[in-house]
């Protein structure tokens, strides 16, 4: 099966790669997409693997806000957002909820989540930030006896640190938004 890669450049050594199963001129909202973060030295993280509409709609919203410097983290977020997300998922803390919902206020900035990784987009000061953070593997599933890499959440969180925190140039974000809107228009 022929696939097409859509590359969203971050800088000379990093990019996002959107992989779709055919020429993007034939996209449908239910088509699958894989999104990878990649570097020139062959580091690759799978950030998303699901319906293209679930990937592009939030990307468009958060990019638009970030370009306008309106995608700031909630005032209550004083620690790293990925760390807090893990604490929320583990039930260790009770974080502020978005008014009228059962959702943590930080989820506004959650761009994608793939078991094991969360991707966040936000403004810090006047910068646009893309953050890729690990998520504790056993938040969602029980460990099996064959899981030789299993460690408790308490042990895992002691060594927590984001995988990548990347400042995105505003012009780069504008290019990403233009491509995202182009792909969404094809699906309409």
The pTM score is 0.92
- pLDDT attached to residue 7: 93
Tens-digit pLDDT profile for residues 101-122: 888 899 999 999 998 999 999 9
Radius of gyration of the chain (CA): 17
Token pair 């504790």 is found at 136
pLDDT mean over 76-101: 89
Which pLDDT value is given to residue 24? 63
User: In this predicted structure, what is the pLDDT of residue 28?
Assistant: 64
> What average pLDDT does the chain have?
91
Which has more confidence, 133 or 52? Answer: 133
Say if CB 168 and CB 15 are below 8 A apart: no
Region 83-107: mean pLDDT is 88
Give the tens place of pLDDT for each residue, 19-36. 987 766 677 677 789 999
Residue 80 tokens, joined: 């790293």
Q: Region 131-141: what's the mean pLDDT?
A: 92
The residue-averaged pLDDT of 149-159 equals 94
Is the model's pLDDT at 11 over the cut of 90? yes
Tokens representing 101? 């919902």
Q: Which of 182, 183, 188, 174 is nearest to 63 (CA)?
A: 174
**Among 33, 16, 47, residue whose Cα is nearest residue 168:** 16
Q: How large is the average pLDDT for residues 89-94?
A: 83
């Amino acid at each position: 099966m022929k696939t097409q890669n859509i590359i969203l450049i971050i800088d000379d050594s990093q990019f996002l790669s959107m992989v779709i199963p055919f020429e993007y001129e034939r996209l449908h909202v239910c088509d699958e997409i894989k999104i990878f973060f990649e570097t020139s030295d062959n580091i690759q993280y799978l950030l998303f693997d699901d319906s293209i509409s679930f990937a592009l709609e939030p990307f468009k919203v958060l990019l638009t806000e970030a370009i306008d410097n309106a995608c700031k983290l909630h005032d209550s977020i004083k620690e790293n957002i990925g760390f807090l997300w893990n604490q929320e998922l583990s039930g260790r803390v009770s974080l502020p909820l978005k008014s009228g919902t059962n959702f943590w206020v930080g989820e506004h900035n959650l761009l994608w989540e793939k078991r094991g990784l969360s991707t966040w987009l936000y403004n810090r000061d006047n910068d646009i930030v893309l953050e890729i953070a690990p998520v504790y593997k056993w938040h969602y599933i029980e460990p099996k006896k064959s899981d030789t890499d299993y460690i408790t959440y308490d042990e895992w969180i002691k060594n927590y640190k984001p995988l990548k925190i990347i400042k995105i140039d505003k012009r780069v974000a504008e290019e990403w938004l233009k491509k995202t809107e182009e792909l969404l228009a094809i699906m309409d």
